[in-house]
Amino acid sequence: MSFKKIFGSLFVFSILNVSLHAQTTDLGNIHGNFQIDAANYQRDTIIGADPGSEVFRYNAFGNINYTKGGFSAGMRFESYNPPLIGYLAGYKGSGVPYRFARYQHKDIDITVGNFYEQFGSGITLRAYENRGLLYDNALDGMRVIFTPKNGITLKGLVGKQRTYFSLSPGVVRGLDGEVNIMELFDSVLGNYKTKVIIGGSFVSKYQVDQDPTFVLPENVGTSAGRISVLRGGFNFNAEYAYKINDPSLQNKLSYKPGQAIIASTSYGTNGFSVMLAGKMLDNMSFRSDRDATNTIAMINYQPDLSKFHTYSLMAYYPYGTQANGEVGGSAEIQYKVKKGTLLGGKYGMDITLNGSVFYALDTIGILPIKDTLRQYKYSTNYGNVGDEFYHDLNIEITKKLSKKLKFTLMYANQFLNQSVVQFNTLDKDEHPDIKTHIGVLDVTYKYKSNSAIRFETQGFFGAYDYKDAKYESNGELNKKNNTGSWISGLIEWTPNTHWSITIADQYNYNNPIVAKRVHYYFGMIGYTNGPTRISVSYGRQRQGIFCAGGVCRFVPSSSGLSINISSSF
C-alpha cells in the first residue's frame, strides 16, 4: 500500500470519525448529497443521433457541507468528461467550482466564497443554480446580510460570476434593501391586516474596455424599486427597473438604456383563484461579460410568465423570454367543482384555465446622427406592440372517479414565431410559424394501497404556416423544419413503493419526409429507497428546444443507455 493510499484512508476515516461522533457530542454535522447521470450513446442515423467518438459521457457532482450552530461551510465537486449531450460543452472538465464559509448570528449573516442570491423578482440580480439544467451563475466573493431591526433587511455583495470552471471577467457589486412596513411599526400597525413591503436595489458591474473602435462603458448600473401589497388571499407585486447604456454582443452593441416593468396580482380563496401577470422588458439583458452568450454570466433574470409544461408534447415548442425585449402577460383561473354536484361527483373536480401571450416591442430602427460611436440602433413606441412571438391557451381538468381511478385531461392551443424566437432570423422560409393543437389524457389506476399503474397518451397536431415559404427547385415547398404531427403513449407501473417501470413511445406518424416517420421508444426501471434513487433507462431522445433562465437552446437527438444515481446524507 502506497503512502498516498494510507493517507487517503486515514483522511476518510477521520471524516467518518468526526461525523459519527457528531451524533453524540457537539462537534457539528457533516451532510451532503450527490448525483451521477451517465450515458453510453450510440449512433442512430435514422433520428440523426451522432455522439461522435466520445460515446460515454456523464454529469456528476457531490456536495459536502459542515454545520455547527450558526457556522456552516461546504464545497461541491463537479465532473463532466464530457457533459451529456444537450449540455454546454464548455463545462467539460472537473473541479471544485463551489466552496463557501458562512456565519449567521442574530442580526448579521456573512458569507465568503460562493453564494446564490436574488434581489426582488431578480430583474437586477439573480445568482442562481439549477443542477439538472447545468445552469450555474454563482457569485464568488462575499456577501453580508444585516437585519438592524425587525422588518428591515439590508444586503450587500461583491464578486465575480462562475463561467464554466473559471470566472467571468466583470466584477458584480450589489446593494438591496427591503422594508416590511407592518413589521417595522409593529406596535402601531401590527394588527393591520394589509401588509405592505417596499424594496430597492442597485447593481453595477465593472468590465474593462479594450475595444479598438467603440467607447464601451466600463461601469454599468441597474436600479430597481418594488412594492408588494398583501391582504388575506389578495396579492399584488410590482417592480420597475432601469439600466444605463450597456452595449453587448447580446443587444448588438446598442447604447439605448434598458427598462423593465413586471407586475402581478392574484386572489385566492377556498376552491377558486385568479391570477394576472404582465411584463414589459426593453434591452434588459445584463451580463458580467459583454461578450457572453447562452446562460453564461447572466447577472439578472428576466422572468418568464408562460406556463411551465410537464407533458412532453405540450413542451415541444416552449417559449423563453426574449433577452432583447418583449411585452406580454399571462392569466390563470383555478376552480374546484364541489363534491356532491353533478360535475363534481363524489370527490370534486379541478379545472385550470391558463393563457399567455407575448409580443415583440414596437421598435423603429434609427440611424446614428451625431455620435457614430454610440448608437442607439432603435427607439421603442411603448403605446403599441409588434409581431406576436408566442401564445399558449390551455385547459386542464383533473377528476377522481373512485378511490382507485383518477384522470387528467388537457388541451392546449399554441403559436410560436420560431424564426425570431429560436433562430434569431426573419427567414420564415427556413423556419415557418407553428400553430398547434395538443391533447393529453393521463389515467392513474391504484389497484392496491401502494401499487398503481398510470397510462398517458398525448397527441400533437401541427399546422405550419407556409405563407412566406419559398418553393425549392423541384417545385416543392421547403419543409425541412417541419416535423408534422406526433402521438405518444406511456405506461408506468409502480408495483410497490420502491420500484417503478416505465415504457413509452413517441411516434412521428406523419412527418412530411416519409423516412423520418419513426418511433422514439424509451424504457426505464427506477428504484427508490429513502433519499436514494437509482434508475436505468434505454431509448431514443428526440431533438428539441430546451429553455432555461430565459434562454432557449437546441438539443440534438440522442440514443443510448443511461444510468442516474442520486442520494443525500
Which has the closest alpha carbon to 28: 78, 97, 74? 74
Q: Residue 135: count other Cβ atoms within 10 Å of its Cβ.
A: 18
What CA–CA distances, in Å, run from 470 to 364, 428, 476? 27, 9, 9
Contacts of 221 (CB under 8 A, 6+ apart): 202, 203, 204, 243, 244
Name the minimum Å distance from CB 111 to another protein.
10
Q: Where are the beta strands (DSSP E) in 270-324?
A: 272-282
Q: Which residues ranging from 204 to 263 are in contact with another protein (CB under 8 A)?
A: 228, 230, 233, 235, 237
Stretch that binds another protein, among 273-281, 362-370, 380-388, 511-519 (CB under 8 A): 273-281
The verdict on 67 binding another protein (CB under 8 A) reads yes
Return the residue of 45, 212, 308, 475 that touches another protein, per CB under 8 A.
Answer: 308
99 vs 446, beta carbon nearer another protein: 446
The verdict on 72 binding another protein (CB under 8 A) reads yes
How many whole angstroms separate alpha carbon 198 and alpha carbon 227? 4
Return the residue of 277, 349, 361, 545 that touches another protein, per CB under 8 A.
Answer: 277
How many whole angstroms separate alpha carbon 127 and alpha carbon 142? 13
What CA–CA distances, in Å, run from 21 to 9, 11, 17? 18, 15, 6
Stretch that binds another protein, among 206-214, 243-251, 304-312, 470-478 (CB under 8 A): 304-312
316 vs 464, beta carbon nearer another protein: 316
The verdict on 565 binding another protein (CB under 8 A) reads yes
In degrees and rounded to multiples of 5, residue 346 shows phi and psi of -75, -30
293 vs 451, beta carbon nearer another protein: 451
Q: C-alpha cell of 390?
A: 408566442
| CB-CB contact of 396 with 412 (8 Å) | no
Return the residue of 34, 202, 214, 376 that touches another protein, per CB under 8 A.
Answer: 34
- Would you list the DSSP string of 1-50? --HHHHHHHHHHHHHHHHHHHHTTSSS-EEEEEEEEEEEEE--BGGGTB-
The verdict on 99 binding another protein (CB under 8 A) reads no
195 vs 479, beta carbon nearer another protein: 195
Stretch that binds another protein, among 25-33, 168-176, 218-226, 417-425 (CB under 8 A): 25-33
Return the residue of 294, 485, 510, 528 that touches another protein, per CB under 8 A.
Answer: 528
Q: Which residues ranging from 454 to 493 are in contact with another protein (CB under 8 A)?
A: none
The verdict on 448 binding another protein (CB under 8 A) reads yes
The verdict on 282 binding another protein (CB under 8 A) reads no
Rg (C-alpha) for the chain, rounded Å, is: 26
How many whole angstroms separate alpha carbon 220 and alpha carbon 348? 54
| CB-CB contact of 121 with 238 (8 Å) | no
186 vs 505, beta carbon nearer another protein: 186
Stretch that binds another protein, among 203-211, 244-252, 264-272, 433-441 (CB under 8 A): 264-272
Contacts of 376 (CB under 8 A, 6+ apart): 254, 255, 256, 366
131 vs 374, beta carbon nearer another protein: 131
The verdict on 340 binding another protein (CB under 8 A) reads no
The verdict on 310 binding another protein (CB under 8 A) reads yes
